[in-house]
Structures are given as C-alpha cells and as structure tokens.
Structure 1
Amino acid sequence: MKKAIILFAVALLNTAAFAQTTWTNDKMHSKLGFTITHLSVSDVDGIFTDFTCTITASKPDFSDAKFALTVNAASVNTDVDYRDKDLRSAGYFDVAKYPIITFASTGVSTVSANHYKLSGNLTLHGVTKPVTLDLWYRGTITNPMTKKDDAGFKLTGTINRTDFGIAPNAPNAMLSTDVIINANGEFAKQ
C-alpha cells in the first residue's frame, strides 16, 4: 500500500510539473523554409524570416501538442530581391491583401517514438485548407545559456500551391504545384 501511494505521488508530481505547458520558438534557432521546383530542373529554396510559433502540451512527449503559427508573408526571402518582390505581388502571396499566414493544429497522431503526423488548418493567400505534416520531436534539454528547458522539433511535408490560389495559371512545368515545407525549431518553455 505504501508503495502504491508513493507511485501515485510521483505520477501526480510529474503530471503537475508538465501540466499544460507553453513553449515559444527561439527566433535565433528556428527556421521556416520551403522548396519549389523551377522549370522542372532545379529547386529554389526560400524562408520566412518573421514568424512566431507557440506550442501547448501537457505530456512530456508532446503527443498532445497544439501548435499555433503566425507568419508575416512579406518576410519571404529567396536571396534574390527581384524574385522576392515578385513573390510579394498579387500574382503570388499578395501580401498587401493577405499579410498573414497561419497554421492552427487540430490533432497529433503517433507514428513511432517521437515521430508524429501533425494535422491542422493552414491559411495562406486567404484560403484555409486542412494539411497533414510530419513532425519529429527531437528531445528536450536544459539550455546551458538560459538554464531553461528547450525542446527541438523538425517539421516536413508537402502542400499544393494551387489549393491556396498561389500562381494558379503557372503550369507545373514552370513551377511545381508541390511545395516542400521544411521547418526546424528550438522552443523555450515559458
């Protein structure tokens, strides 16, 4: 009986220590990128330099995590000024009309240890569609600089640009309809 009470107390403490924790991306150690194929022969990479992502979770393995992402669409950067201006125009992201990109998760399903399918609603170019992406929880450590817990994640997946009205008249041979999403992030426990 005494053993059962001790085990219950330890389980209760562990649950209380992690109850509904919020994590925010460390902007210096987080990257939100994409890749699209140009003329069917080369890949063009880009990033968004201004975004915020928060995670709330009550389980230490993040299997119940909820993600909320907000992106400044005008922060698109492909290292080519002319192309970046074009991407901000009405022909692509139309940042004057649709300045914010959002993602709100609706569920997490376990694939294997620390590997999940993350489902949610992506709003891009004024269109909201459900998407499912691959999420890898890379672990949690105590950051030696801040002395706070940091968790690491990698997110990958593919979306169809035409589903969101991005350059709908550009043929696949010119710009692939598939856009690969590739994000890495460190998240600080709040």
Structure 2
Amino acid sequence: MKKLLLALVAFAPLALFAQKTTWKADPAHTSVNFSVNHLGISQVAGKFEKFDGTVVSSNKDFTGAQINFTVDVNSVNTGVDQRDTHLKSDDFFNAAKFPEMKFTGTAFKKISDDKYLLVGDLTIRDVTKTVTFEVVHKGGIIVDPWGNNRAGFIAKTKINRFDFNINYGKDNTAVGKEVRLVINLEIVQQKS
C-alpha cells in the first residue's frame, strides 16, 4: 500500500497534464504595463487595471498552450487623469469605438529551460498584427497555501504604435512610436 501511495504522489504532476487544463490570470498578481518615450528625453509608464487572460495547456511545461488575453482600454492608468482621458480619445485608443485590445496566441515555443517565445495576433483599435513576446517562466508550477496550482510568467515585447493606427504626434517627437509592453502574469489552474 505504501508503494502505491508513493507512486501516486510521484506521478501526480504528470496526471495534472494528462488532459487539457485551463488556467486564469490572477488579477491581484498580474499587471499589464506599457512605457513610451516622451519628447525624446524620458519615459511615460502606465498600466491597464482590467483584463482577462486564459491559458489552456496539455503539457506540464506549457509548450503549445492556447493563450488568449483581453484588456479593457477604459482601464488605462498613467497616474494623470487628464492624460488617461486623452489616451481614451480617438487620438490614441478610441475607447468608445474600440473598448478592448485582444491577443490570441498562435504558438508558444520553449527556447531553453525557462525561456519561451509567444507568437500571436494583437488587435488594437481596428488593426490586427502578429507580434512576438519574449517570455520567462521561472519556478515551474507551485501549490499555494490554499491548495491551488499556480505558475508565473514575464512577457515582453515592443510594438510600433503607428502600425495600429495610433497616429497622434506622428509628425513630431512628443510621443515615441515604439511602445514597450511588459506583462507580469500569474495564472491559477481552474478546478473542474
């Protein structure tokens, strides 16, 4: 009996991925951040407060996972109300007409022990472009104090905002064209 219990414990992590598992972004421990050059001399940083992310995987190391993410554009927060209102206008996101940004992953490939490439389609406003995120996954899967399986990732990329019809200041250097995105993602496995 003791050997049977030891075998079950040893193979429990494999059973976790014997079938597809669904994971959800933990909003209390996830952040969607961006930064952009201002006047060529500094960076303005901000984040989005409301988002939803889902990861569906059949593999313990998440290779080949299906990753989908949506961001509520109206939740933009740079710490300056006037700037946030401007970002929601048609000069930038046009949140009234395009209230969500969407990302649909098309490939999640392991490059080395904890490094991955995530390729997918990013939609901002009325434009969809393929983007690639560099992803780091450290610590594997852990069990939190409440018995939930958790995993964490940091995903980074750069986009050209003009590619997504965010053209404000295109003829000057007030706002840089390159936007850096950093997503600190903690996901929790959903219980059946």
Q: TM-score, normalised by structure 2?
A: 0.88
For residues 171 and 29 of structure 1, what CA distance do their matches in structure 2 show? 38
Once the 2 structures are TM-superposed, how far is the Cα of residue 15 of structure 1 from its aligned partner?
A: 4.7
C-alpha separation between the residues in 2 aligned to 1:51 and 1:164? Answer: 19
Query: Which residue of structure 1 lines up, in the alignment, with residue 176 of structure 2?
Result: 176
Other-structure match for 2:16: 17
Identity over aligned pairs, percent: 37
Please give the alpha-carbon distance, in whole angstroms, between the structure 1 residues aligned to 2:87 and 2:187. Answer: 29
When the two chains are superposed, the root-mean-square deviation of aligned CA atoms in Å is: 1.7
How far apart are the structure 1 equivalents of 2:149 and 2:171?
Answer: 46
The answer (yes or no) to whether the contact 2:150–2:188 under 8 Å persists in 1 is yes
CA separation in 2, counterparts of 1:79 and 1:171?
26
Query: In the alignment, residue 142 of structure 1 is paired with which amino acid?
Result: V
Deviation (angstroms), 1:124: 0.3
For structure 1, the 5+ residue unaligned runs are 1-6
TM (normalized to structure 1)? 0.89
Matches of 1:43 and 1:81, distance apart in 2? 17
Mapped contact 2:111–2:117 kept (Cα < 8 A): yes
Q: Give, in angstroms, the shift of residue 114 of structure 1.
A: 1.9
- Taking the TM superposition and a 5 Å limit, the aligned residue runs for 1:70-149 are 70-138=70-138, 139-144=140-145, 146-149=146-149
C-alpha distance after superposition, 1:124-158 (max 9, x if no partner): 011111001111112211111x2111110101110
1:65 partnered with 2:65: yes
How many residue pairs align between the two structures?
180
